[in-house]
Amino acid sequence: MTLLSAVGALTLGVGLAGPASSAPADPDTNPSVERKAAATTKADQQRVRDYWTPERMKSAKPRDLSNKGQLKKSLKGKPVAPTAGAEAVQAAPQPTLGKVFFTLGGANYVCSGTATNSGNGDVVTTAGHCLNEGPGAYATNFAFVPAYDNGSRPYGTWVAETLLTTTQWKNSGDFNYDVGFAVMAENTSGQSLTQVVGGRQIGFDLGYRLPFESYGYPAASPYDGQRLWKCSGTSTTDTFGGSTDHGLPCSMTGGSSGGGWFTNGVLNSVNSFKYNADPNTMYGPYFGSTVRSVYTTAAAS
- For the chain, the three-class secondary structure string (H helix, E strand, C coil) is CCCCCCCCCCCCCCEEECCCCCCCCCCCCCCCEEEEECCCCHHHHHHHHHHCCHHHHHHCEECCCECCCCHHHCCCCCCCCCCHHHCCEECCCCCCEEEEEEEECCEEEEEEEEEECCCCCCEEEECHHHCECCCCCECEEEEEEECCECCECCCCCEEEEEEEEEHHHHHHCCHHHCCEEEEECCCCCCCCHHHHHCCECEEECCCCCCEEEEEECCCCCCCCCCCCEEEEEECEECCCCCCCCEEEECCCCCCCCCCEEEECCEEEEECCEEECCEEEEEEECCCCHHHHHHHHHHHCC
The rounded mean pLDDT for the chain is 86
210-226: average pLDDT = 96
What pLDDT, in 10s, does the model give residues 24-77? 333 344 568 999 999 999 999 999 999 999 999 999 999 976 554 333 333 333
What pLDDT, in 10s, does the model give residues 255-277? 999 999 999 999 999 999 998 88
pLDDT of residue 18: 39
Greater pLDDT, 72 or 172: 172
Greater pLDDT, 68 or 250: 250
pLDDT of residue 86: 86
pLDDT of residue 279: 85
99-115: average pLDDT = 97
Of all residues in the chain, the percent with pLDDT exceeding 90 is 77
Residue 168 in this model has a pLDDT that exceeds 60: yes
Residue 4 in this model has a pLDDT that exceeds 50: no
pLDDT of residue 64: 79
pTM, to two decimals: 0.87
115-139: average pLDDT = 96
Provide the pLDDT confidence category of residue 133 given band limits of 50, 70 and 90: very high
Residue 99 in this model has a pLDDT that exceeds 50: yes
144-159: average pLDDT = 98
